[in-house]
Amino acid sequence: MDISEILSPKFTEFDIGTPLSKVTGAFENQELDAVVVTDGDEYRGVVSRRQLASSSNQPSAKVGSQVQHVPTVDRTEDVREVARLMIGSDAKTLPVLDDDRVVGVVTADAVLEAVRPFLDAATVDDAYTAELVSATPETTIGKALNTLREAGIAHLPVVDGNALVGMLSLYDVIEFTTRGGNKSQGGSSGGSGRRGGGRQNRGGFGAREGDADRMLDLPIRNLMSDAVVTIERNAPLDEVVETMFDREISSLVVTADDSDEPVGIITKTDVIEALTWEREDRNAVQVFGLDLLEGMDYDDVSALIEEMTSKYGEMSVIKASIQLQEHKERSRGVPLVLARIRLVTDRGYFTADGEGFGATHALRLAANAVERQLLKGKTYGQSKKRSDADEQAPLYGWWLGG
């Protein structure tokens, strides 16, 4: 299955000199995940909603300073390869190029819609993140924002004891703090919050006049969405996607099959990642852009991953995804390359970037960054379980055969 039927020729485009304030305004359209940035007719990259929400930017800064380099695809790219590229680059929107000109975009939602009929062979238990990063109703907005940014997540379930009482999204927090004293009423039923927990009513803080520091000290109990959509671990993934689309949300809290106790979370990214798992007889190390490496082949990259993880005791690598992307900048004829490593192990997720002149240099910088995370024990969530080979066959057969 290729993307020719699911790519969208409609996309929002800005020149590199456009002020970020104008770009931020474009994201008032809740369906927009990322904008394309160009320099005249030349494609430069994208800027995503999450990227802007996760960083501190001066409104007068130009969008060119925030460009994210993500993989580009052509009209006939395979859906499974697109899923891999999205996971490898941590991007939910990829530009579609024809003769170096952007002719459309393919989004994670479009991919999920296309594969939804085939997802009934896998369950939530195969794909969800078992470590639940959460907050309490009394957690301050500032601390919640720090948790969201440090963990690299956009959804923060709110738990009181063992009871799930709400959901806070990164966009809820950013919307609230950036509006400042413009309004005197608390959160509302609309706005950016629907990407985090649904279009539910939120309480009011009363007057918001005051500085940002005071706002960050307020508790999240009245900013959070007051209802959360949950799903059990035995539910099929097609039901997950259908629920997300119906409720216009991008995450569901996973509960134990015999109780309402929250045990994890599943997001659209988790489902997209499920499309990239290989059968047991496939290689655990995937390299995108291998041809850019000078003096290294696939076996060398696999050996680098093995050497990197073997230093830290018993650790099983479930999957390693290495993404190499060449930029236009050069030094003495050597291109600037972005290397991104995403390591899935039985002890958690580890992810890091490295940027340098030459792919081998960039890869080793990324590997060094992952090693530092391994040394500190800093993970980005608990490992996901994979189903047995017999269980995987129905899910993956439709594209492995095609």
Interatomic CA distance for residues 247 and 199, integer angstroms = 8
Taking the C-alpha atoms of residue 337 and residue 349, their distance in angstroms, rounded to an integer, is 23
Nearest to 203 by CA among 156, 159, 168, 155: 168
297, amino acid identity: D
Whether this prediction's pTM lies above 0.75 is answered by no
- Same domain for 267 and 132, yes or no, is yes
Q: Tell me the C-alpha to C-alpha distance, in Å, between residue 174 and each of 51, 123, 193.
A: 12, 33, 10
Q: What residues form DSSP beta bridges with 253? A: 230, 265
Do 266 and 289 share a domain, yes or no?
no
The answer to whether residues 245 and 293 belong to one domain is no
Kindly state whether residue 3 falls inside one of the protein's structural domains.
Answer: no
187 and 96 share a domain?
no
Same-domain check for residues 169 and 261: yes
Structural contact between residues 336 and 355, judged by C-beta atoms closer than 8 angstroms: yes
Does any domain span residue 4? no
Q: Are residues 157 and 73 in the same domain?
A: no
Residue 113 lies in a domain: no
CA distance 215 to 208: 8
The CATH number linked to 348 is 3.30.160.100
Nearest partner of 130 among 227, 265, 37, 255, judged by Cα = 265
Could you list the pLDDT tens digit for every one of the 402 residues in the chain?
A: 789 989 999 999 999 999 988 888 888 777 888 999 999 888 888 998 888 776 666 767 888 888 888 888 999 998 888 888 888 777 899 999 988 889 999 999 999 999 888 888 788 988 888 777 889 999 999 899 888 877 778 889 999 887 888 999 887 787 776 665 444 344 333 333 344 444 344 444 444 444 556 788 889 988 888 778 999 988 999 999 999 999 988 899 998 877 778 888 999 988 998 887 654 434 568 787 788 888 888 889 988 988 888 877 777 777 788 888 888 788 988 999 989 888 877 667 688 889 999 999 999 999 999 888 887 765 444 444 444 444 444 444 333 333
Q: Are 128 and 214 in contact (CB under 8 A)?
A: no
Position 345 in a domain: yes
Please check whether residue 122 lies inside any domain of the structure: no
Other beta carbons within 10 Å of 161: 7
134 shares a domain with 37: no
Quote the number of domains for the chain.
3
Q: Same structural domain for residues 195 and 131? A: yes
Residues 135 and 223 in one domain: yes
pLDDT given for residue 180 in this prediction: 53
Same domain, 226 and 306: no
Strand extents, DSSP E, 134-229 = 155-160, 163-169
Give domain status of residue 384, yes or no. Answer: no
CATH of the domain at 258: 3.10.580.10
Range of the domain at 239: 127-274
Q: Are residues 138 and 268 in the same domain?
A: yes
Give the Cα-Cα-Cα angle 62, 63, 69 (nearest 5 degrees). 140
For residue 133, tell me if it sits in a domain.
yes
297 and 268 co-located in one domain: no
